[in-house]
A and B are shown apart, each in its own frame.
Chain A
């Protein structure tokens, strides 16, 4: 399967983007990552698994704990790095459009 397509699927999800941000500055355990979300722990584990499979995250064993680290090399290979930025604005504007289509002026 095409790696790039996988990568874009991986970063299409807001929780996964948030996870990438969290581990961008420091390696974290699954528990530490999960504590940042209201989502159930197994859901976070699933996200970690997807990000690891797409090789955007690397696992490092440290004693009994597994730390997750960002794979900077593969993040760079997300060739069209503008796409998430475009998507962010596109999402915002889609919401704006939806809200304003339903807008009824207050009298």
Chain B
């Protein structure tokens, strides 16, 4: 089966590219990035702040069932071009991964499909490789079980 989400991370480089095609009109994909309630749902985190504009900033926070904060991240938005491009920084609190620059380009393919191209640049090769290993760390807020919850709320 063809993979819908692809990662291109070359050895010894400090960046990577994530590409994904969506069965969605471009406007809906972009909306999922721009509206806090939607970001909360698909990122599986609480959005404390999301200012979708040039020089705006954002803050995400995730707590576990006991109310302990397990993930906190923030960044600033450098470019916000409706249905086209978001350039922003991303930094997680309390982890030694540094800050990363994310360039997200949104592209229309057909009326009902679109493509996301996300170029992520890290501070160093070592930091990028650490982040690549991070999904082990994200196990707790992995969204598997959340799909059903979300579908239920939509019914």
Contacts and interface: CB of A to CB of B under 8 A. Distances in A.
B151 interface: yes
B3 A90 contact: yes
Contacts of B41: 95, 99
Interface residues of B, number: 41
Interface in B121-151: 131-140, 142-147, 150-151
A89 B18 contact: yes
Chain A contact surface mostly = helix
Contacts of A98: 147, 150-151
Nearest to A103: B28
A85 B135 contact: yes
Interface string B46-85: 0000000000000000000100000000000000000000
Contacts of B31: 100, 103
Contacts of A81: 132-133
Interface stretch (B4-12, B86-94, B97-105): B4-12
Interface stretch (A1-9, A17-25, A59-67): A17-25
Interface of B: 3-7, 9, 18, 20, 22-24, 28-29, 31-32, 38, 41-44, 65, 116, 131-140, 142-147, 150-151, 154
